[in-house]
A and B are shown apart, each in its own frame.
Chain A
Amino acid sequence: MRQILLVAPILIPLAACAITALLWQRPEVQRRIGVAAAALLFLSTLALLAEVVTGGMVVGQMGNWPAPFGITLVVDPLSAAMLVITGLMALAVAVYAMGPGAAERDRAGFQPLFHALVMGVAGAFSTGDLFNLYVWFEVMLIASFGLLVLDRTREQLDGGLRYVMLNLVGTTFFLLAVGLVYGLTGTLNLADLARVAPQVENQGALAAAAVLLLISFGAKAAVFPLFNWLPAAYHTASMPVAAIFAALLTKVGVYAIIRVFTLVFAHDQALFGPIIGVVAMLTMVVGVLGAAAHYDVRRILSFHIISQIGYMLVGVALMTPLALAGAVLYIVHHIVVKANLFLVAGAMQKVGGSFALAKLGGLWATRPLLGLMFLIPALSLAGIPPLSGFWGKLVVIRSGFEAEAWLLASVALAVGLLTLYSMVKIWNEAFWKAAPAEAAAHQPAPGEWGRMQRFATFAPIVALCAVTLTIGLWTEPFAAFSLAAAEALLDREAYIAAVLGTAPVQLAEAVR
């Protein structure tokens, strides 16, 4: 049963991708299968999380090839949490994608690509092998190219091309690093690497490989100075696509940084801690300033993804249990909130006719409920108590002060204020100010949509708001889980023992 649960998060989207591709000419059927598969994925990840919490890490050797040689899948508490949130996002976006515009999207092949993307993300979260991680990155990348240019407009092709170029450079760095690491250690299994890395003689070369990995994961995660592809591409994508990208893609990069730098390069923490700390700080500041300078809802939200990535990296920079717990809590909170903000932005565009703040206005008077559903994730993003973002920021900043990283913690505090500024800007312009004269409703109001479309647009937003409120008001279990996940991350011996056991290690030594 454990083996089935372990593979299910990869197999369910794979099957959904294959079946929807088979039904290429039947978009309506595709859509139903897509939602059903996403729901099944969410349930299976919940079961996997329960299994990890009650029975410890779940490890599987694909094809029964023993650990350092074959491909290993490993799900520890962090991976399990990421998988659950992936399932939740897949479900929310799959439902949202049934809303207005669904027919055109599905004819262009949204469903197979969407599930291929989810499969890539789930694979990246569950793999225990560096090269396999590269493969999942490629799966994600290929699917995301297709999703990005779904509408085939000039704007999208332009954004898509930049996205492709910068991401290909990033993955090339990854491949170089994989080659270097394999040359130095003779293994790519993460647990085996964690065991061997401290004994490598040429630590300089290993550190070079680590920097290459940091660059490639950093490009994925959109950290300073490698973030340019994100604002270039995200604002052109159609809304469900932008939401799933914002929720998951950069977070895979963050997850990879956390995994590799807590597990494999932990012995070099004195070198990499400060580097990651500086990167985190600059990422927070540049992202939030970029957001402050823009007046398009999608661009503002895109830049906020970047600034929030900085908070998550604080955990890896400090590498204390509390800081890592803060990172875990922050990622979970951020994914929910960020995806929700993109979904709300999509609804705002449907209602108000534009993404540009100058052309929006008066939404509070006409759509007070939408305003409320914007306020919850927006204030949570800015870190207003008692919403989920407050607790995430609190733990991150407190861990900064405890580790006496004064500058890092102060910057994190100040960036929170600037985040509030951008959110208030959207609020003032889109909801509060009087509607500009030319903003006569171009689109049919939600009242004129079908019931199905209204449900598809607003149910995911309401559900994600509820999740945000739950994390905010009932933080205790989430915080406790994050702390447990952080401790599991720092307990390298347990990870190595769970993956390798003892016999294969001797075998690996003998081969070497």
Chain B
Amino acid sequence: MDASLILRVSAPLLLWVPAIVSLYLLIRGHNEPGGGFVGGLVASAGLVFFVISRGRQAALRVMRVPPAGWCGIGLLLAAGSGLLAWIDPAAGYLTHRWWFPDVGFKVPLGTALLFDVGVYLTVIGTITAMVFALVDED
């Protein structure tokens, strides 16, 4: 990898800032524009910067699990979020459930968020798998 010094030094910044923004987008997607798909794209943009500047091995170390694994976890989460529908056995698959536990204020929790997190992880896994395949072995 012969990335410029500036890019190499700023790579961690370009990795973590999009990662944080992507989490914000993921949570915001609950009721406003955003969500797992956009969030995943933003997060993978950071990883793409990282792989361009530091090479594939370094990027894989940051990800810990290989891209296909991210897809796997994401798919399991998204598919699993629909299973809670069967608290009522007659309900259709993916019927989402909601809880509002009171801890001073009401925390809105729902299986839809779990689904979105699944999408988020799957998108990251897919994009990185595609981009990493195009980067030279280092």
Q: Which residues on A are within 8 Å of B, measured CB to CB?
A: 1, 3-4, 6-7, 11, 14-15, 17-25, 60-65, 70, 109, 112
Contact = CB atoms under 8 A, between A and B. Distances in A.
Contact of B94 (A22, A23, A63): A63
A24 B69 contact: yes
B96 interface: yes
A14 B68 contact: no
B92 interface: yes
B72 A22 contact: yes
Contacts of A22: 65, 68-69, 72-73, 76
A22 B66 CA distance: 8
A3 B65 CA distance: 34
Contacts of B66: 24-25
A4 B84 CA distance: 12
B72 A19 contact: yes
B89 A18 contact: no
B90 interface: yes
A17 B75 contact: yes
19 contacts: A3-B90, A3-B92, A4-B86, A7-B93, A15-B79, A18-B79, A19-B72, A19-B76, A22-B68, A22-B72, A23-B72, A24-B66, A62-B92, A63-B92, A63-B93, A63-B94, A64-B92, A64-B95, A112-B72
A18 B76 contact: yes
Contacts of A4: 86, 89
B91 A64 contact: yes
A62 B94 contact: yes
Contacts of B69: 21-22, 24
A3 B69 CA distance: 29
Interface size on B, as a range, is 20 to 34
A15 B95 contact: no
A228 B31 CA distance: 48
Contacts of B95: 63-64
A25 B67 CA distance: 12
Contacts of B89: 1, 3-4
Contacts of A14: 75, 79
B71 interface: yes
B70 to A, nearest CB: 9
- Most B CB contacts (10 A, CB to CB) among A24, A25, A61 go to A24
Contacts of B86: 3-4
A40 to B, nearest CB: 15
A17 B91 CA distance: 25
Given A18-B71, A18-B75, A24-B69, 17 more contacts: A3-B86, A3-B91, A3-B93, A4-B89, A15-B75, A15-B79, A22-B69, A22-B72, A22-B73, A24-B66, A25-B66, A62-B93, A63-B85, A63-B93, A64-B95, A70-B92, A109-B68
Interface string B86-122: 1001111111100000000000000000000000000
Contact of A24 (B68, B90, B94): B68
CB-based closest 4 A-B pairs: A22-B72, A21-B72, A18-B75, A7-B93
A70 B95 CA distance: 11
Interface string B46-79: 0000000000000000000110110111111001
Contacts of A70: 92
Nearest to B95: A64
B80 to A, nearest CB: 9
Contacts of A109: 68
A60 B93 contact: yes
Contacts of B74: 18
Contacts of A11: 79, 93
A330 B82 CA distance: 36
Contacts of A61: 92
Contacts of B93: 3, 6-7, 11, 60, 62-63
A405 to B, nearest CB: 42
A317 B74 CA distance: 44
A22 B79 CA distance: 15
Nearest to B96: A63
Contacts of B65: 22
- Most A CB contacts (10 A, CB to CB) among B72, B73, B96 go to B72
Contacts of B76: 15, 18-19, 22
